[in-house]
């Protein structure tokens, strides 16, 4: 059933599922204008599919105001606490990710991650779209954390279930050598495995960008298990790779998914993004 087009509840939107129901194309979204009721249709579709893509076409530009309104229809916007030097929009509801293939900062988001996990209440969802695309490359990939959990053996699942994981901005700050982009920094312990309250599905909640260690394991044990999980998350069968075209929009549920940029581009890659406030993961 997930491989056939579906109509989302609420205000009707036509969804065309992608890989076994992970990911879906929104085929009839109108952004002129967006009303609050549109979020009533997007939220359950996002919870079902993890990531949604909208391609308005080469001549149908989406303004910053329309981009923000679409995000606001799904919840309160979070002014993102990291990459503060990139927030050069007058409206701080938007942030800007500006990378160039000639610089090393293109590698900053090329690790699998979910956003803001060092915070007590990370964002629940996020949106991104291109402002300027390179001549080639620069795709974004998304990974299904429910599928990643389901693919683990029951014995390994039992070992992970109930463990906490420390998430910290110190880890990417050390790697990048640019601690200023993380402001005052943050760290928090979240469960290594989450349960989706809407569906009961389980999902992994550790990521290579922010997770420092697993609580309750020795340092070497933690490092070994995390490395195994990071390699497991990199399994191609869990992934969607999105090749950007002008004016595209991707919306993803932060806990059901991880994402990463592909640092294979030549030229400049500029993206606009915004995030939706979330509660504490359980």
Catalogue the active-site residues. 113, 115, 259, 273
As a whole number of angstroms, the distance between CA 98 and CA 118 comes to 23
Q: Is 164 helix (H, G, I), strand (E, B) or coil?
A: strand
Beta strands in 146-263 (DSSP E): 164-168, 187-191, 193-195, 202-204, 211-215, 239-242, 249-253, 257-261
Residue 161 vs residues 4, 98, 156, 190, 229: alpha-carbon distances, Å: 33, 38, 9, 12, 14
Is residue 180 within 8 Å of 85, Cβ to Cβ? Answer: yes
Q: What is the DSSP letter of 143?
A: E
Measuring CA to CA, which residue among 103, 97, 80, 84 is closest to residue 132? 97
Residue 265 vs residues 95, 134, 262, 272: alpha-carbon distances, Å: 21, 6, 8, 17
Q: Is 96 helix (H, G, I), strand (E, B) or coil?
A: strand
- Measured in degrees and rounded to the nearest 5, phi and psi for residue 33 equal -95, 175
Is residue 127 within 8 Å of 71, Cβ to Cβ? Answer: yes
As a whole number of angstroms, the distance between CA 141 and CA 59 comes to 25
84: Cβ contacts below 8 Å, ≥ 6 apart: 180, 181, 182, 183
As a whole number of angstroms, the distance between CA 125 and CA 52 comes to 11
């Amino acid at each position: 059933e997930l491989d056939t087009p579906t109509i989302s509840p609420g205000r009707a939107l036509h969804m065309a599922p992608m890989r076994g129901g992970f990911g879906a194309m929104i085929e009839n979204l109108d952004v002129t204008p967006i009303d609050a009721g549109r979020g009533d249709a997007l939220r359950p579709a996002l919870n079902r599919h993890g990531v949604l893509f909208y391609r308005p076409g080469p001549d149908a530009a989406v303004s910053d105001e329309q981009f923000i309104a679409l995000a606001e229809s799904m919840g309160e916007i979070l002014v993102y606490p990291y990459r503060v030097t990139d927030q050069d929009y007058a409206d701080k509801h938007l942030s800007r990710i500006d990378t160039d293939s000639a610089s090393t900062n293109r590698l900053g988001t090329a690790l699998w991650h979910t956003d803001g996990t060092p915070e007590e209440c990370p964002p629940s969802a996020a949106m991104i779209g291109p402002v300027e695309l390179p001549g080639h490359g620069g795709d974004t990939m998304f990974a299904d954390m429910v599928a990643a959990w389901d693919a683990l053996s029951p014995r390994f699942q039992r070992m992970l279930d109930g463990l906490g994981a420390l998430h910290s901005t110190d880890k990417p700050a050390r790697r990048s050598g640019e601690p200023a982009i993380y402001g005052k920094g943050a760290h928090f312990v979240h469960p290594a495995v989450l349960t989706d309250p809407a569906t009961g599905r389980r999902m992994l909640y550790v990521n290579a960008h922010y997770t420092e260690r697993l609580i309750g394991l020795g340092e070497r044990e933690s490092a070994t298990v995390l490395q195994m999980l990071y390699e497991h998350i990199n399994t191609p069968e869990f992934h969607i790779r999105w090749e950007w075209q002008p004016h595209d929009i991707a919306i993803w549920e932060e806990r059901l998914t991880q994402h990463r940029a592909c640092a294979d581009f030549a030229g400049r890659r500029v993206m606009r993004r915004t995030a939706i406030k979330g509660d504490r993961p359980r």
